[in-house]
Structure 1
Amino acid sequence: MLPWKRVLRPLAALLMTAAVAAVPATAAHASPVHATTARVSAATSSAPSHGWNDYSCKPSAAHPRPVILVHGTFANSVDNWLSLAPYLESRDYCVFSFDYGQLAGVPLIYGLGPIDKSAEQLSAFVDKVLAATGTAKADLVGHSQGGMMPRYYLKFLGGAAKVNALVGIAPNSHGTTLGGLTKLLPYFPGAEDVLNLATPALAQQVVGSDFMTKLNQGGDTVPGVHYTVIASKYDEVVTPYQSQFLSGSDVKNVLIQDLCSLDLSEHALLGVTDRIAFHEVANALDPAHASPTTCASVLS
């Protein structure tokens, strides 16, 4: 076996494990339904899906901004949000999601392309949603890469003028070590080049990458945007988990186990099924009516 394959195999295995874990158990065990859902995801930017992406939705006085959900790496605009989108919609939010980071010849899974280009796709989608809803600003909620990529949009593409809040669920804010595996890459000639060529977004999310250096240079945040980070100490993908937290004058960093010590959710589950995390998302979107998040919030 070539040396770089020995590195890429555990890296790919861990990332693919996260991708598989991101699919709710009910979908994973009903393959025809799951396949249909995945096919639908490609069209979600222009058609209703599971009650969200309704371009006739007009934000209410109570929740005056649309919420745009930004999926993570190896995910898509449907599977990542099968629980959170209905959760927010039932609370009278106009909810939208889209696919980004497509690679040619790779169907159904997204978030793999260059992150700066994905941020351009986000910019176009925000403009589309604002035009449809007649609003001046949106709120963004993202999982994993989806909680980090919007910061490029805010910082370099003028997004701060169009976004009120960014809520990152297990965001890769400062790069990941993947539990130390990424430290092995320099010892295997060609491994980094293969990773960058095959899946640019993965290479850019490694701690110390040129992309991460540019993103965080000069500070984590930009004025005028409210930031919330929701992290789990059991995260096995974005490591160390403390690297997810942001620094800035308008930042709320939340460790989910500080709210409910019984919550064992790791990286994928925190964004896909964790209703305690969802309660914190709701608080971040409507801080004037926030209520304490506890273990009992799973019932809300």
Structure 2
Amino acid sequence: MIDRLRAATASLATVALLALAAAAFPPATASAESVETGSAGAPDDLPAAFAPLAGAMQSWGKSPAGVNDWECRPSDAQHRPVVLVHGTGRSMQESWGNLSDPNSKGPLVEDLAKDGRCVYALNYGNAFDITSLSMRWGIGAIENSAAELGRFVDAVLAHTGATQVDIVGHSQGGTVTREYLRVNPPSRTKIHTLVLLAPPTHGSTLGGKFASEADARAKLAPIAMQQQAVDSTFLKRLNEGQETFPGIDYTVLATKSDQTITPYESSFLVPAPGTSVRNMYVQDVCGNQDLEVWHSRLFPNEPASKGSGLLDHPVSRFLVRQALDPTLAGTPPC
């Protein structure tokens, strides 16, 4: 009886919290807002291709510097638009922006801009996290996030006039992209190169937090975290049959010092016949097994001694650029 009362109380508390979240974060309206400035703009500020995303874009707020610049044009036809897809619990600003100066470009965005690329990014998977009592990006069901990505890719193609985009997906961002490709076969002609930075391809304990999908669910982890757990129902379905598709150039870049995707060996894709896949560890590229490159990035309040993450380290940034442009000369700055 006591256990049933506790369960009922917990359920009522959850309902109350979700109701509170719905009141505090009402659905975005259809009025347009510039993702570059984060302020309400006239209808002319919003390119027609992005009109269907107006409500979502309004809730995004300001884009990172150098991202979603509607005036940007590729330097030539070989420089396809690049779409950046963030990971679990992070926004596009936290993943790709300059964390010390929001008015300056983040490291990877700066690199891509110098290469003549137009860079786009979205926030996806917004949901209420009961463990932190807050709304967070990248924690909603991955199936829904994949649909959001699909609409964004279509808008970028329509706006730029390009026939294909390149995608750089960090962590869950890579998995979201793979789900988009799995459920929507026509999408496979829209992506030329897919770079995955430490994706949880075959599941992760997330640094030892969750032993399984059931364990993650019991600990009230958001649905996206449950779906990325080892042997999750979602990942089994995603990886069933084949993990890669012909016509897309896949690169997986992982790090052996990853403390989020654990075990780190789970990141690599199993190539299907007739597909182009490169699986690389930054330590092997550099010939230095002691090289410490973390999963994500170093935040301003963290000690510099901790080192850099995949989104900041010079070697991983160079390898991303080289994956997007195999003719790029030079040696990885290990």
So what's the TM-score if we normalise by structure 1?
A: 0.77
- Among residues 156, 174, 183, which one is paired with 2:202 in the alignment? 174
Cα deviation code 1:156-210 (max 9, x no counterpart): 1232111001101111111102344422775x7xx62553xx5110100001111
Aligned partner of 2:29 in structure 1 is none
- The ranges of structure 1 where at least 4 consecutive aligned residues each deviate by more than 4 angstroms after the TM superposition are 39-48, 104-108
Q: Kindly provide the amino acid, as one letter, of the partner of residue 133 in structure 1.
A: T
Q: Which has the higher contact order (CA 8 A, sep 6+)?
A: 1
**Structure number with larger C-alpha Rg:** 2
Asked whether the 8 Å contact 1:45–1:97 carries over to 2, the reply is no
Aligned partner of 1:58 in structure 2 is 73
Distance 1:239 1:259 in 2: 20
Asked whether the 8 Å contact 2:294–2:310 carries over to 1, the reply is no
Asked whether the 8 Å contact 1:56–1:132 carries over to 2, the reply is no
- How many residues of Structure 1 are paired with residues of Structure 2 in the alignment? 254
Distance 2:62 2:200 in 1: 29
Asked whether the 8 Å contact 2:89–2:139 carries over to 1, the reply is yes
Aligned partner of 2:249 in structure 1 is 226
Aligned partner of 2:192 in structure 1 is 164
Is 1:212 equivalent to 2:227 in the alignment? no
- Among residues 80, 90, 98, which one is paired with 2:95 in the alignment? 80
Distance 1:277 1:50 in 2: 21
Aligned partner of 1:272 in structure 2 is 311
Distance 1:59 1:117, change over 3 A: same
Give the deviation of 1:89 after TM superposition. 1.2
Q: Kindly provide the amino acid, as one letter, of the partner of residue 222 in structure 1.
A: F
Give the deviation of 1:289 after TM superposition. 2.6
Asked whether the 8 Å contact 1:52–1:86 carries over to 2, the reply is no
Distance 1:118 1:48 in 2: 18
Aligned partner of 1:129 in structure 2 is 156
- Among residues 117, 123, 131, which one is paired with 1:93 in the alignment? 117
Distance 1:47 1:66, change over 3 A: farther
Asked whether the 8 Å contact 1:174–1:243 carries over to 2, the reply is yes
Give the deviation of 1:60 after TM superposition. 2.1
Distance 1:54 1:165 in 2: 21
Asked whether the 8 Å contact 1:70–1:140 carries over to 2, the reply is yes
Matches within 5 A, 1:230-249: 230-248=253-271, 249=275
Aligned residue for 1:201, secondary structure, equals helix
Asked whether the 8 Å contact 1:47–1:54 carries over to 2, the reply is no
Aligned residue for 2:159, secondary structure, equals helix
Asked whether the 8 Å contact 2:198–2:252 carries over to 1, the reply is yes
Q: Kindly provide the amino acid, as one letter, of the partner of residue 164 in structure 1.
A: H
Aligned partner of 1:5 in structure 2 is none
Q: Among all aligned residue pairs of Structure 1 and Structure 2, give the percentage whose two residues are the same amino acid.
A: 39
Matches within 5 A, 1:130-145: 130-145=157-172
Structure 1 residue runs without a partner (length 5+): 3-36, 296-300
Distance 2:226 2:329 in 1: 37
Distance 2:193 2:88 in 1: 21
Distance 2:235 2:189 in 1: 23
Is 1:116 equivalent to 2:143 in the alignment? yes
Asked whether the 8 Å contact 2:82–2:168 carries over to 1, the reply is yes
CA RMSD of aligned residues (A): 2.7
Distance 1:48 1:177 in 2: 31
Give the deviation of 1:218 after TM superposition. 0.6
